[in-house]
Structure 1
Amino acid sequence: MKSKIVLSVLLLWTAVAVRGQHFDYDAIAPHPRLLLPSVDEAAVKAAAEQVPALAWIQSRLFAFCDATLSEPPVERIKTGRRLLDVSRLALKRIYYLAYAYRMSGDERYYAGAVREMEAVCTFEDWNPIHFLDVGEMVLGLAIGYDWLYDRLPGEMRARICRAIVEKGFAPTAIPKYGDKCYKRTNNWNQVCNAGLVYGALAIYEEFPEQCREIVEKCMESNPRAMTVYAPDGGYPEGYNYWGYGTGFEVMLIAALESALGHDGGLSASEGFLASARFMQFMTGPCGYSFNFSDAPPRAFVQVMFPWFARRTGDCSLLWNYLPGGEGPQTDFTDHRLLPTLLLYAAGVDWSSVREPARHTWFNRGKTPVYIYRSGWNSPDDLYLGVKGGSAATSHAHMDAGSFVFDALGERWAMDLGMQNYYSLESRGIDLWSKKPESKRWEVFRIGNSSHNTLTINGCHHQIRGFAPIVDTIGSHGSHGAVIDLTEVLGEGLRCAQRTVTVERDRYLFVCDRIETGDMPVRVEWTMCTPAQAVVTGRNRIELTQNGKRMTLVADAPGCRVRMRVLSNDPPNDWDAPNPGTVHVGFETEIPAGQRRELRVRLIPRNL
């Protein structure tokens, strides 16, 4: 109840603040008005010539465009209940081709963009039942319309306008379609609002009343999504969905500013700008992300970081950012919003980029997270990520209390990551029900048994239970956090607290303090790892990978521990395989009415 009251107050305050920021629609900028006015083209071209990494990125973009020219345009082919893959490909093709045309003047790219826009305009609809598909489709079509406006024939302009109004705007009035997005607080709100507002700003002169309504509806509803960054900048849905939701939020803000002169106060929302630092910490030194919830293990370049660096004036956000630089690198992918990176990277003084001063991150909110890294320059730096939170959060797993750990240039404690949604939905798994009896919790990668946390009596975590980070540690050579797992682990315990620390930049220490109730409990301590693992003693497991070694040592005074190395072979035929991984740890019993400490050290063998 308390959290709902706080959310209502935040929504009211933010909505009042945003409504106070009026737009002057009569002063809307001329075409091209979305992201890149004509006067800024020269600066973007110059940056791509003068900064080698930007030139390399642009060359990849042009290569994609060249390949697209020999391929047929997109077709309306659904995958399960989604048209999303098609919408994303259409957005990517139109955005890339329009960018390539503006940078080069090559008529082939103009013709290719027009061909893709003509194709999506002929679709019977853009699958409004899954409105993300509509949001991304409108975004792509709007950019193409705006950026190529002066070249488009009048008939083509009219066709695009009709498609945006009939297939984009009209479904927002239907409760089972787009109207749901306005009420959400997750990435759906951000993606759908961004796409619709792009459409409204692009075709404003043709349908001013409808377009104003779309923009104003965004300004009333989008603050709901912005509350999730409060108070510190953490993003509850994690690494993958920060890139999605926040990426489209930046697109929205940037379009409002370029077309109407300001963003209505959206970027000033509590925690929003700080979330870029959260994401910088979410990437580990050896190229893996802290991939709690639905996220892949590998880190990838976040397209919007140059925008955040320019907005905050903090270029340390771009440390080790560009491909080909010194230091540890994340994967570079040809993201569908990649041109945005080039637009905002053009305004960065790359010679001023410096190493971040901080080595710890802590955020509260729906998904509290603590991160420590010993340095910023070497893949051998130590890295610890710990999370609390709840399985009830959007896209969450039963991973409260989970941690990841990097040392010696390797990830030793890992998260298996997300499983492709369609692979489960096609087997009849309802992934989106959060009820206790939902099949969602039977998916191996989602339930608690595969995560680096505790399991009590073989049971699932309590879905509505919340695990706060109640303390952080940063003195006497210890860096870490304390998570209260009592609500999450269930009624059989009077208290359960987990402390996870890096000690003297030498080893990882995990201490679970557990107090039982009226019944004895069986505790399973689990850590997923890509290392080869062998039990070598009554309380010891040796881990090896890529010629490096780590020793896991368990100590549980008053308890007998049974060390375990277990396969990650999936228990159900709908589960994804997990080759090259195992989970290690131990099992023990704690009598009724007792307090015990379960202590684990993870020690690099070269110490």
Structure 2
Amino acid sequence: MKTYLYLNQLAVLFLFLCSWQETTAMLMAQQTKGVSVPKLENPVNRQYLQHNLRKSHPRLVLNSAIEKDLKRKIKSDPVVKNMYGAIRLNAVSIYDKPLLERIQTGRRLLGVSREMLYRVNMLGMVYRMEKDPAVLKRLNDELVAVCNFTDWNPSHFLDVAEMSLAVSLALDWTKGDLPKATEELAIQSLIEKGIKPSWPGDGKNPDWAYGNNNWNQVCNGGMIAASIAVAETVPDLAAKTIYRALDGIPHALVEYMPDGVYPEGSTYWEYGTGFSVITIAMLESAFGTDFGYGSFPGFKDSALFRLLCNAPTGWYYNFADCGDRRGFNGDGILAWFAYKTGNKAFFEEERFLVPVDKMSKLERLDGSALVWISQYREKDDARLPTAWKGDGSNPIVIFTGEKEDPHRYYFGGKGGRGSVNHGNMDGGSFVFELNGVRWVVDPGNQDYNSLEQTGFDLWSNCQGCERWTLFTKNNFGHSTLTVNEELHAVDGLVTIKDFNNGKTPETTLEMTPAFQGLLRSAQRQFRKDSPVSLTVEDRIEITEDTKLVTWQLTTTADVELVKDGAVLRQDDKSLKIENLSHPGLSMSVVSLYPAPLKLDRQIVGLKRIELRIPAWTVENKKTSIRVRLVEN
């Protein structure tokens, strides 16, 4: 398989800190990918902290009024009572575990930081509700253990951020009850191992502070928590750190614009958005305002994106570096959006009411999520759209059936480009489910650490970079078009050209940029032409450089090639793939199991169905490829 090598030179602009006010003022003018970045209200300085920061504790997520209401709801509200029971059960399980040690996995301490955040959320919430001395002792032991680490791994700052949030919550939710020595140790650790490493001594701004991905949300959120926790001890350091965070966060939030699509995929939505909502909750409890964070354009719209990415089979629409399937428990992050909007669709009541011994291990922010679960009041039961599009840097389209659709119809298609955060060369790709089977699959994500340990360069995204040798990342592993057996253009943005959400919804993607001269034009249309079918039509115009156009579909179903198409079989069901446009050409099957490379993800039964169209068969340089997927 040959590829053309395109070398992109990246210019990095370093801004030096003459003072923190001057630097942030300069960065206010910065733009993200040509999009103007709206700013949050940001009055934070030392004087603002002194006059506006809540003096009493708790003040992170909880405050006296919220806590009083929560205690009442635990007794009176079945959902809150059940979820608190689950938190309590999780807290009890922690006693059987050893205290945490500073053990890295590759370049990350992240697993340890996340486990600490989980333990604090479970133990800390139980302590706030019950004031049990045994819980306090365990929280004390946990704090002493992690605060005595030599550091929190600042070279991978996500680790520092999650640990800082954990220690800040533990310190705040036990304020005045821990031994004085532990409180002093925790405060000094937040300053020396948390906040200070976020201000590099070389005068450069950390990349994440004004970045446009989840690192911005997680790291700035962790630094806000730490700064509130130590504000009385180091007010100047706390003020400038919160100021930088409020100034930098919008550079990540623009990625939600305009419609709420999170470009890194649904599981990364949970990560980045989870840290955003807990940061908003901390700002509101500590200052009485979120500084406009929660009303940022596109942010609340992302709840619909998250919900629509949950397919009927339990799979996610797992584009980008997204996990495959959602968990069994209720979505605590989505519950924040239910609280803020009153929309019942975002409140997974049935899952929150599952018997606690049937739930899986709770998520690490679920202790805090109990607060917004308790604050939810139904105001709206909005009907979910059965055809929806979201524009942005990684645009997607979703078609579904009605709520009680007997066929459980689900289609997800996308544009985008490889160079988006956690992106793949998957512009024009799609997934398709019918009758409880995912017939067309996305190969999804694979473990980062196992790749990194081999020296594999997973994170560089130039045209010829190593990332694109993996079939989970390149176009050869996705249900899209490939020309001349070449990679898609890494910066070739595939966009939504038009969209119709009528009785037979359809959308057209402008795919020409993905081929960078190998095609004169390419548009892909998806059309839900019946409750049990999907038609994919590619209208292309070739150039003198076009040699071969390959139509691709990836599946784990069994495949039988038949005249004018193929039949897929899985779980005692079948789906017909009809070649409507090129009856003179037969489809073929390429096995992707075992995968082409040793480092590729191994997906049992994965294969690629191809319809290969030589350029010499295209009359007048134009052709239309029409393929229909229909219940058999």
TM-score range with shorter-chain normalisation? over 0.9
What residue in structure 2 maps to residue 215 of structure 1? 242
What residue in structure 1 maps to residue 265 of structure 2? 238
Alignment of 1:427-576 (within 5 A): 427-475=454-502, 477-535=503-561, 537-557=562-582, 560-564=585-589, 566-576=591-601
Q: Quick one: structure 1 residues 601 and 424, their matched pair in 2 at CA, closer, same or farther if it must change by over 3 Å?
A: same
The answer as to whether partners of 1:486 and 1:497 remain within 8 angstroms in 2 is yes
Query: Which string of whole-angstrom CA distances, capped at 9 and with x for unpartnered residues, describes residues 329-372 of structure 1?
Result: xx96621111132211112246x673624222211110111112
The answer as to whether partners of 2:280 and 2:293 remain within 8 angstroms in 1 is yes
Letter in 2 for 1:149: K
Q: Distance in 1 between matches of 2:85 and 2:439?
A: 36
Q: Distance in 1 between matches of 2:120 and 2:349?
A: 30
Alignment of 1:204-603 (within 5 A): 204-300=231-327, 301-318=330-347, 322-323=351-352, 334-349=362-377, 354=381, 356-377=383-404, 380-475=407-502, 477-535=503-561, 537-557=562-582, 560-564=585-589, 566-591=591-616, 594-603=621-630
The answer as to whether partners of 1:285 and 1:380 remain within 8 angstroms in 2 is no
Q: How big is the shift at 1:268? A: 2.0
Q: Quick one: structure 1 residues 286 and 47, their matched pair in 2 at CA, closer, same or farther if it must change by over 3 Å?
A: farther
Q: Quick one: structure 1 residues 175 and 395, their matched pair in 2 at CA, closer, same or farther if it must change by over 3 Å?
A: farther
The answer as to whether partners of 1:25 and 1:260 remain within 8 angstroms in 2 is no
SS of the residue 1:268 aligns to: coil
Q: How big is the shift at 1:28? A: 1.6
Q: How big is the shift at 1:247? A: 0.8
Moved more, 228-237 or 563-572: 563-572
Moved more, 308-317 or 194-203: 308-317
What residue in structure 2 maps to residue 328 of structure 1? none
Query: Which string of whole-angstrom CA distances, capped at 9 and with x for unpartnered residues, describes residues 33-83 of structure 1?
Result: 011113333433444455545444433332222221122111111111111
SS of the residue 2:389 aligns to: strand
What residue in structure 1 maps to residue 17 of structure 2? none
Alignment of 1:119-138 (within 5 A): 119-138=145-164
Moved more, 136-145 or 151-160: 151-160
1:604 aligns with 2:631: yes
Query: Which string of whole-angstrom CA distances, capped at 9 and with x for unpartnered residues, describes residues 489-544 of structure 1?
Result: 23111011111121132211111111100144222222222322221x23221112
**TM-score where L is the length of structure 1:** 0.92
The answer as to whether partners of 2:210 and 2:252 remain within 8 angstroms in 1 is no
Q: Quick one: structure 1 residues 514 and 333, their matched pair in 2 at CA, closer, same or farther if it must change by over 3 Å?
A: farther
Identity %: 31
Q: How big is the shift at 1:99? A: 0.8
| Alignment equivalent of 1:18, drawn from 34, 38, 41 | 41
SS of the residue 2:332 aligns to: coil
The answer as to whether partners of 2:87 and 2:122 remain within 8 angstroms in 1 is yes
Q: Distance in 1 between matches of 2:352 and 2:53?
A: 37
Q: Distance in 2 between matches of 1:234 and 1:380?
A: 26
SS of the residue 1:101 aligns to: helix
Q: Distance in 2 between matches of 1:559 and 1:103?
A: 71
Q: Distance in 2 between matches of 1:127 and 1:54?
A: 36
Moved more, 337-346 or 183-192: 337-346
Moved more, 304-313 or 146-155: 304-313
Moved more, 192-201 or 205-214: 205-214
**TM-score where L is the length of structure 2:** 0.89
Query: Which string of whole-angstrom CA distances, capped at 9 and with x for unpartnered residues, describes residues 119-173 of structure 1?
Result: 1101111110110000000000000000001211222111111000001111112
The answer as to whether partners of 1:462 and 1:487 remain within 8 angstroms in 2 is yes
SS of the residue 1:18 aligns to: coil
Q: How big is the shift at 1:315? A: 2.5
| Alignment equivalent of 1:79, drawn from 92, 105, 116 | 105
Q: Quick one: structure 1 residues 599 and 452, their matched pair in 2 at CA, closer, same or farther if it must change by over 3 Å?
A: same
Q: Distance in 1 between matches of 2:539 and 2:464?
A: 29
Q: Quick one: structure 1 residues 58 and 541, their matched pair in 2 at CA, closer, same or farther if it must change by over 3 Å?
A: farther
What residue in structure 1 maps to residue 62 of structure 2? 36
Letter in 2 for 1:581: L
Q: Distance in 2 between matches of 1:541 and 1:499?
A: 21
The answer as to whether partners of 1:355 and 1:376 remain within 8 angstroms in 2 is no
Q: Distance in 2 between matches of 1:54 and 1:503?
A: 43
Following TM superposition, the consecutive aligned residue runs of length 4 or more in structure 1 with deviations greater than 6 angstroms are 175-178
Moved more, 288-297 or 526-535: 526-535
Alignment of 1:138-177 (within 5 A): 138-174=164-200
SS of the residue 2:41 aligns to: helix
What residue in structure 1 maps to residue 24 of structure 2? none
What residue in structure 1 maps to residue 11 of structure 2? none
The answer as to whether partners of 2:121 and 2:368 remain within 8 angstroms in 1 is no
Unaligned ranges ≥5, structure 2: 1-29
Q: Distance in 2 between matches of 1:586 and 1:296?
A: 29
Q: Distance in 2 between matches of 1:399 and 1:512?
A: 15
Letter in 2 for 1:125: D
Letter in 2 for 1:163: S
Q: Distance in 2 between matches of 1:517 and 1:495?
A: 9
Q: Distance in 2 between matches of 1:291 and 1:50?
A: 38
Letter in 2 for 1:40: I
The answer as to whether partners of 1:557 and 1:596 remain within 8 angstroms in 2 is no
Q: Quick one: structure 1 residues 318 and 376, their matched pair in 2 at CA, closer, same or farther if it must change by over 3 Å?
A: farther
Q: Distance in 1 between matches of 2:387 and 2:173?
A: 42
Unaligned ranges ≥5, structure 1: 326-330
The answer as to whether partners of 1:171 and 1:178 remain within 8 angstroms in 2 is no
Moved more, 310-319 or 241-250: 310-319
Query: Which string of whole-angstrom CA distances, capped at 9 and with x for unpartnered residues, describes residues 92-115 of structure 1?
Result: 112211112222333222211111
Count of residue correspondences: 591
What residue in structure 1 maps to residue 10 of structure 2? none
Q: How big is the shift at 1:322? A: 2.7
Query: Which string of whole-angstrom CA distances, capped at 9 and with x for unpartnered residues, describes residues 532-558 of structure 1?
Result: 2221x2322111222211111112248
Q: Distance in 2 between matches of 1:548 and 1:92?
A: 41
What RMSD in Å do the two structures reach over aligned CA positions? 2.3
The answer as to whether partners of 1:319 and 1:353 remain within 8 angstroms in 2 is no
Q: How big is the shift at 1:572? A: 1.3
Moved more, 516-525 or 377-386: 377-386
Q: Distance in 2 between matches of 1:341 and 1:594?
A: 57
Query: Which string of whole-angstrom CA distances, capped at 9 and with x for unpartnered residues, describes residues 556-575 of structure 1?
Result: 24862333253332111122
Q: Distance in 2 between matches of 1:136 and 1:206?
A: 21
SS of the residue 1:267 aligns to: coil
Letter in 1 for 2:108: R
Alignment of 1:176-195 (within 5 A): 179-195=206-222
